[in-house]
Structure 1
Amino acid sequence: MIDEVNRAHYEDEIVTIAHRLSVMDGLAIVDRNRVYVDTDAITRLMRQRLTQTFLRYRDLLRLDSEEIVAFDQLLKDVSLAAKHGKEGIQIPPNEADGVLLDMVSQIRDEFLHNPAYGLDFYLSKRIRHLSFVGKLRDPLELKNLITTRMNGHSGYNENSFWLEKLSLTESSRERLSLLFSDFAAEFDERVALIKDRLFHARSTDKPEGIFDIVITPSLLYVIKVISVNDTDVEKLFQTIYAVFWGSLSPHLELARTTISQSLRLALPESLNRLRAKVAEIVNQDAALQEFSLFVAQAISELETAIIETESWFDRADIKSAEHHFTLSQAVDVAVESALKSNKVLEPKIAYELDEDTSVFASQLVFITDAVLVAFGNIRKHSQLASPNVLIRCGLNSEKNGLQVEVIHDVSSRINKPEHQRRMSEIRDLISRGADGKRSKFDEGSGFIKLAQVVRQSEHGRIEFDFHESRKFRLFVQYAWIPEETTDETL
């Protein structure tokens, strides 16, 4: 029997639950696309360059007298070689293999290092830039257990919250202040060691980078066998990308293991040492008990955050055509994702959204990138914990651009001329097209990284500046290419 009296209430609850499930689905997509390569863009870039080479390769392959084994036999050969500790399949050299090696090498370089589409660019934009450090720092910042570096100095801001709250003599205050500063430096150095040295595609600049694709004879032969029936260059590209992702699987596992072994025990132990040393300095009082409780809570939340960062490297292929979101769902995903990386913020958010527009998973990730950059800058530069934030999202009037605009309050205390000088430098870099290599090392505003994406199309735009008297505005427009959709929206 239908409860007609409460029917409207139940329907509202169903809509709310469905919306929340879509947001959770979207958050999973964002996290699983942190390790990403824009293979569509690389295909467009390399198609013209390699089409003639591919046709030559196909001609040589037909002349190749070597019989290409079936794929199941190939797997047996590779497995047998691994069992006996050998490198793998040995390929008799011939001209066709030399041409294939040249194509695979060129695609590998773009796949790993292209400054706008490659793996290292997305590692920078979605992991190294704010996200990784912010995710791990947030549990501590929420409990006022760690402070930030002083502007223009190597030292840290004084932890005035606990220095005022705890019962201290003048000498113990100095000791405790130094203790908090040393703890913050140790925490940041341990996290930065992984972020700055290891979470990179390996190169001459970053020789310790975890991610690399070594083109061994076995890997080349796997590509050769799988692609034997590929009749056009784009099919070959798809084969190569699939093999590359398979080759990167051990590197993704290494990234997860590195986080687990380097941080999961060490960071909580560091917090426990801080708690013990504070107890040695401070007289027993209620504030000390509160401090101890905050440390325990922070350890629990930090362990959860560490596990979540490990999951960023658990890549899962998700086809965008299978996931559709309303703009309301997409922006909720973007905001929740940004707040998860900036938990110290408590913004008052208002929305102006085009509810007639739906987006795919790939477009969802673009929206999330823009909002993440905006919230990262609010956290770092606004000097406000609870600013008013307006988020606008929708298509432009020509229906060829998806627009994301974030306007937020800034404190009257910020150094406006210095920020304007820095923004002018960034605009100059973007306008001169000098942002390719620079974007990999931009750990500041994130605007250069966004520009690298939007500038891939003539319809892309990025604008950033102070807005009115005490507000800041970030505007991003991505090229909008409508895709065929189903009627069902997740």
Structure 2
Amino acid sequence: MVIGSIDERKIFVNEYKIRQTLKKSEKQSVLSTEQVSPLTNESFERYVKLLAYVKNNNEYKDVSSIIQFGENGEVTFVEAEKNKTYKEQDVDVVLYLPAFRIFVSYFLYIRDLFIFSKEYGLDAYLSTRIRHGTLPNHLRSVFETYFLVTAQTDNVYAINQFWKDKLSLSEEHMTILQASLGQFSKDVDIFSKDIKDNYIQCKNEQKNEKFDALFDYSYNEHDLIFLFVEDFDETLNIDVFIDKALMILWQQTEINLEVVRNKFNIQFRDRYIELIDNLHLELLSILDKNSISELLNNLMTCRTEIQTKLSNISKWFRRSESSIEGEYEIQTLAETSIQITKNLNPNFNFEIAKDICPNFNISGEYHQHIIDLMNNCLFNIVKHCHLPCEEVNANLIIYEKENNLFLNFENCLSDASLHIAKLNAIKENWESSDANISREGGTGFPKIKKIINSDLNRKYSDFDFHLASNKLNITISFETNGLKV
């Protein structure tokens, strides 16, 4: 039940925290550059008075009555009462109304918080829940299951040992096969990376360097005129204004999500099928069909499975609520996180010993965030241990002590010296804010800190580690006040 709800809905914005931010007048640090919030009770009162003034003096009323919107959002002007005719350039009457310009600053500020807040916005959760490890591993896992891709170092793909041992081919034909599989691995990785880096991204009219970004929140002046005239001209209460703005942004999000789901079920699906079919035809053209029949069977099975996987991934792109009904023991959440990690790494069949305190129940509001936190830690074990799965010797210990919850992750490493500098830096800077929360790759600890501070609302947390020989022990702790049911 827990894993099902998480696997089908991953889209989240922390509306509660954004509303809190919107009501503050001091400098904000949630955007990429600090700015003073234009939306305060005092400024909104002035906005309402200005709006009333321009309406009472017919500076706005006449224009709003003659604006007509076409199906594609274009703005034209039609004949108004008293046979007065307006030309299209009269759009300036609206564009340069002080009340309209203030409205634009309010709405776009809310829009940018909704998308790009480093702690509470959509892009931050896309990074934590989808782009960081989850999406690339899900896409690759199907091909790994059927031994069709290998790992790479410095853009050189490893020999596919499975088929080298499995097939009885001449040295010449094996060399040809390995070259084809290496190129296929590269093509799969390039396209999967393209989906993550260029498609599952957010943009607006200013931040549009990700041209293919599917989460598009761009507004031109005509769009903003439409909103001003049709939705906000009678909005005289700041809370109602915020409610309307967030509702409109969620409506745009639903439009974007429909586009994303269609991409996974059609365009992305077709591209992966094309890669598989091209490899299939290439192998048949250079190798005897009977000698590689098992490989061809794997290709065809993978062809079906990748379509199922993409369909399942498309279900992630639905809105997730901040709370789930009921409560679960932390042991259930830990087991869910472990299973998700195993699903993401089908060919890394490692076991995790568990010692988890009983009777520690967590309310639904925090389920997803606890799982996100543990997912990041377990992902680090798989990615950075550089060991065969049977040598990882992973262990998860969770216990409560003096009103604090301790999460202890243990695992072996191939070379402990490679990690000391990074771990020391994490420990030294644990209480500092991170500017790279939305960056994928690396250790993911900026995301872990963000989850603890912003999503779990912990006022106190700590990070520590211990290295002995090739064994790493990482402990993350935080207060349980308000977390435990």
Shorter-chain TM-score above 0.5:
yes
Report the residue type matching 2:450 in the other structure.
Q
Q: Secondary structure at the match of 2:156?
A: coil
Q: Deviations over 1:42-71 (max 9, x none)?
A: 22333212333233334445556379xxxx
Query: Which position in structure 1 is the counterpart of 2:5?
Result: 28
**Alignment match of 2:216 (pick from 212, 215, 231):** 212
Q: CA deviation at 1:290?
A: 2.4
Q: How far apart, in 2, do the equivalents of 1:239 and 1:397 lie?
A: 44
Q: Secondary structure at the match of 1:359?
A: strand
Q: Quick one: structure 1 residues 470 and 28, their matched pair in 2 at CA, closer, same or farther if it must change by over 3 Å?
A: same
Q: Secondary structure at the match of 1:463?
A: strand
Query: Which position in structure 2 is the counterpart of 1:145?
Result: 148
Q: CA deviation at 1:364?
A: 1.2
Query: Which position in structure 2 is the counterpart of 1:224?
Result: 232
Q: CA deviation at 1:248?
A: 2.1
**Alignment match of 1:101 (pick from 94, 104, 121):** 104
Superposition map of 1:293-372 within 5 A: 293-313=297-317, 315-318=318-321, 320=323, 322-372=325-375
Identity %: 20
Size of the aligned set, in residue pairs, is 438
**Contact 1:454 / 1:476 at 8 angstroms: preserved in 2?**
no
Q: Deviations over 1:381-425 (max 9, x none)?
A: 222324443334465522xx5554332x324xx232222234345
Q: Secondary structure at the match of 2:472?
A: strand
Q: Quick one: structure 1 residues 278 and 356, their matched pair in 2 at CA, closer, same or farther if it must change by over 3 Å?
A: same
Q: Quick one: structure 1 residues 224 and 322, their matched pair in 2 at CA, closer, same or farther if it must change by over 3 Å?
A: farther
Q: Quick one: structure 1 residues 154 and 261, their matched pair in 2 at CA, closer, same or farther if it must change by over 3 Å?
A: same
**Contact 2:47 / 2:99 at 8 angstroms: preserved in 1?**
yes
Report the residue type matching 1:277 in the other structure.
E
Q: Quick one: structure 1 residues 30 and 186, their matched pair in 2 at CA, closer, same or farther if it must change by over 3 Å?
A: closer
Report the residue type matching 2:260 in the other structure.
A
Q: Quick one: structure 1 residues 465 and 170, their matched pair in 2 at CA, closer, same or farther if it must change by over 3 Å?
A: farther
Query: Which position in structure 1 is the counterpart of 2:14?
Result: 38
Q: How far apart, in 1, do the equivalents of 2:258 and 2:143 lie?
A: 27
Query: Which position in structure 1 is the counterpart of 2:60?
Result: none
Query: Which position in structure 2 is the counterpart of 1:262?
Result: 267
Query: Which position in structure 2 is the counterpart of 1:16?
Result: none
Superposition TM-score, scaled by structure 1 size: 0.78
**Contact 2:356 / 2:398 at 8 angstroms: preserved in 1?**
yes
- Which region of structure 1 is more displaced relative to structure 2, 420-429 or 339-348? 420-429
**Alignment match of 2:45 (pick from 55, 67, 74):** 55
Q: Quick one: structure 1 residues 354 and 388, their matched pair in 2 at CA, closer, same or farther if it must change by over 3 Å?
A: same
Query: Which position in structure 2 is the counterpart of 1:291?
Result: 295
Q: Secondary structure at the match of 1:209?
A: coil
Q: Secondary structure at the match of 1:439?
A: coil
**Contact 2:360 / 2:484 at 8 angstroms: preserved in 1?**
no
Q: How far apart, in 2, do the equivalents of 1:212 and 1:361 lie?
A: 30
**Contact 1:112 / 1:212 at 8 angstroms: preserved in 2?**
no
Q: Quick one: structure 1 residues 106 and 83, their matched pair in 2 at CA, closer, same or farther if it must change by over 3 Å?
A: closer
Q: How far apart, in 1, do the equivalents of 2:358 and 2:52 lie?
A: 55
CA RMSD of aligned residues (A): 3.4
Q: CA deviation at 1:360?
A: 3.3
Query: Which position in structure 2 is the counterpart of 1:155?
Result: 156
Report the residue type matching 1:336 in the other structure.
Q
**Contact 1:338 / 1:368 at 8 angstroms: preserved in 2?**
no
Q: Quick one: structure 1 residues 483 and 460, their matched pair in 2 at CA, closer, same or farther if it must change by over 3 Å?
A: closer
Q: Deviations over 1:75-99 (max 9, x none)?
A: xx99x94547635998946444433
Report the residue type matching 1:47 in the other structure.
K
Report the residue type matching 2:356 in the other structure.
L
1:86 aligns with 2:94: no
Superposition TM-score, scaled by structure 2 size: 0.79
1:440 aligns with 2:447: no
Q: How far apart, in 1, do the equivalents of 2:170 and 2:333 lie?
A: 52
Q: How far apart, in 2, do the equivalents of 1:66 and 1:361 lie?
A: 50
- Which region of structure 1 is more displaced relative to structure 2, 184-193 or 93-102? 93-102
Query: Which position in structure 1 is the counterpart of 2:199?
Result: 198
Q: How far apart, in 2, do the equivalents of 1:212 and 1:347 lie?
A: 39
**Contact 1:198 / 1:209 at 8 angstroms: preserved in 2?**
yes
Query: Which position in structure 2 is the counterpart of 1:11?
Result: none
**Contact 1:384 / 1:410 at 8 angstroms: preserved in 2?**
no
Report the residue type matching 1:379 in the other structure.
V
**Contact 2:13 / 2:121 at 8 angstroms: preserved in 1?**
yes
Q: How far apart, in 1, do the equivalents of 2:144 and 2:108 lie?
A: 45
1:250 aligns with 2:255: yes
Q: How far apart, in 2, do the equivalents of 1:223 and 1:460 lie?
A: 42
**Contact 1:30 / 1:368 at 8 angstroms: preserved in 2?**
no
**Contact 1:374 / 1:474 at 8 angstroms: preserved in 2?**
no
**Contact 1:163 / 1:176 at 8 angstroms: preserved in 2?**
no
Q: How far apart, in 2, do the equivalents of 1:87 and 1:372 lie?
A: 48
Q: How far apart, in 1, do the equivalents of 2:325 and 2:8 lie?
A: 17
Q: How far apart, in 2, do the equivalents of 1:481 and 1:221 lie?
A: 47
**Contact 1:29 / 1:361 at 8 angstroms: preserved in 2?**
no
Q: How far apart, in 1, do the equivalents of 2:477 and 2:314 lie?
A: 31
- Which region of structure 1 is more displaced relative to structure 2, 367-376 or 253-262? 253-262
Q: How far apart, in 2, do the equivalents of 1:114 and 1:138 lie?
A: 31
Q: How far apart, in 1, do the equivalents of 2:464 and 2:349 lie?
A: 22
Q: How far apart, in 2, do the equivalents of 1:479 and 1:87 lie?
A: 55
Q: Quick one: structure 1 residues 36 and 319, their matched pair in 2 at CA, closer, same or farther if it must change by over 3 Å?
A: closer
Report the residue type matching 1:263 in the other structure.
F
**Contact 1:370 / 1:404 at 8 angstroms: preserved in 2?**
no
Q: Secondary structure at the match of 1:320?
A: coil
Q: CA deviation at 1:159?
A: 0.9
Q: Secondary structure at the match of 2:215?
A: coil
Superposition map of 1:355-394 within 5 A: 355-382=358-385, 383-386=387-390, 387-393=392-398
Q: Secondary structure at the match of 2:298?
A: helix
Q: How far apart, in 2, do the equivalents of 1:54 and 1:479 lie?
A: 38
Q: CA deviation at 1:113?
A: 1.3
What stretches of structure 1 of length at least 5 have no aligned partner? Answer: 1-21, 68-73, 486-490
Report the residue type matching 2:225 in the other structure.
P
Q: Quick one: structure 1 residues 319 and 419, their matched pair in 2 at CA, closer, same or farther if it must change by over 3 Å?
A: closer
Q: How far apart, in 2, do the equivalents of 1:371 and 1:250 lie?
A: 31
Query: Which position in structure 2 is the counterpart of 1:420?
Result: 420
Query: Which position in structure 2 is the counterpart of 1:70?
Result: none
Q: Quick one: structure 1 residues 254 and 460, their matched pair in 2 at CA, closer, same or farther if it must change by over 3 Å?
A: farther
Q: CA deviation at 1:378?
A: 2.5
Q: Deviations over 1:268-295 (max 9, x none)?
A: 332233234334555565x733222322
**Contact 2:12 / 2:319 at 8 angstroms: preserved in 1?**
no
